[in-house]
A = this chain, B = another copy of it.
Amino acid sequence: MPESTPTHVSDEVLERFRKITSATAYSAVWRLAPPEGQEWFASANYQLCLMRGVKAYTPGRTLVGRAQTLRFVPARPDLLARTRKGANSPEYLAMAKCGPNDVLVVEAHTFDEYACILGNMKTRQLWHNKAQGLVTDGAIRDLKMIVDDYELAIFAKNRSPAGNLPFLESFEEGRVVNVGGVLVIPGDVIVADDDGVVVVPADRAEEVVDWIEEQEEAEEFVIGLIDGERVPPGKYYPITEETKERFRRHKEEQAEQEKNAKETGE
């Protein structure tokens, strides 16, 4: 059973996601139609896409990238005997996969909101590799150094001076994780800003960003109507299919006019 998604989201698609907000990404994923053949089945939706208990620790920064996953579990001597392998321990293998368009996504899953997963020593590898940032439901240590020196975007549950031991230990990487109540499959797209962290399934990413780009233009169009008529936004919002059609016609007309103007201008 292959656990990384077969769809590789291209850097071009990621670039398009960089222009949007987590709020728009949420709406787009939330409304995704179920895949063919799973239409009327209770579970055929993508609505659990917003991480809970994870917030921005680098306010003002947007984070977009492909997820590389890492899972911590509670530490125990017999477990450590298996997983501790110096530079080949799971956390380093995971960070080794994080290049300039990647985000390390870490399941800490701990009752102790002060138990940290990583500090400035270990995350140095993310800086070496020019990764985008880090998303976790655990705590982060030495946060000031990580932010000041490594310029990573950080979304976490908490910050704290505590270490990972004896509470937590990295266990496996490159498999599905549950972070903040959201499933993350390696390769999924992370879209995060001060409003929150949204996960976009890799195999629907392009469809999602297509919808978003049109929706954002339509919202701009509608804002023009609202401001022009000085009416309550409820007249045109939420955007009905009818209003969207009106927007599409308007866009076509504009394109036509621009084309004519250009031709005339020549």
**Residue A8 CB within 8 A of the other chain:** no
Q: How far is the CA of A121 from the CA of B109 in the complex (A)?
A: 29
Copy tally for this chain in the complex stands at 6
Of B23, B34, B109, which contacts A141 at CB under 8 A? B23
**Distance (whole angstroms) from the CB of A68 to the closest CB of chain B:** 14
Known interface pairs A43-B77, A122-B237; A232-B195 also in contact (CB < 8 Å)? no
A42 adjacent to B165 (CB under 8 Å): yes
Known interface pairs A162-B50, A167-B48; A124-B87 also in contact (CB < 8 Å)? no
A27, A91, A96, A230: residue with the most chain B Cβ atoms closer than 10 Å: A27
B23 adjacent to A48 (CB under 8 Å): no
- One digit per residue, 1 when the CB lies within 8 angstroms of any chain B CB and 0 when it does not, for chain A 145-161 equals 00000000000000111
**Distance (whole angstroms) from the CB of A162 to the closest CB of chain B:** 6
Residues of B within 8 A of A75 (CB): 43, 48, 183
**Residue A16 CB within 8 A of the other chain:** no
A163 adjacent to B109 (CB under 8 Å): no
Known interface pairs A52-B111, A237-B121; A195-B74 also in contact (CB < 8 Å)? no
B87 adjacent to A234 (CB under 8 Å): yes
B141 adjacent to A233 (CB under 8 Å): no
**Residue A18 CB within 8 A of the other chain:** no
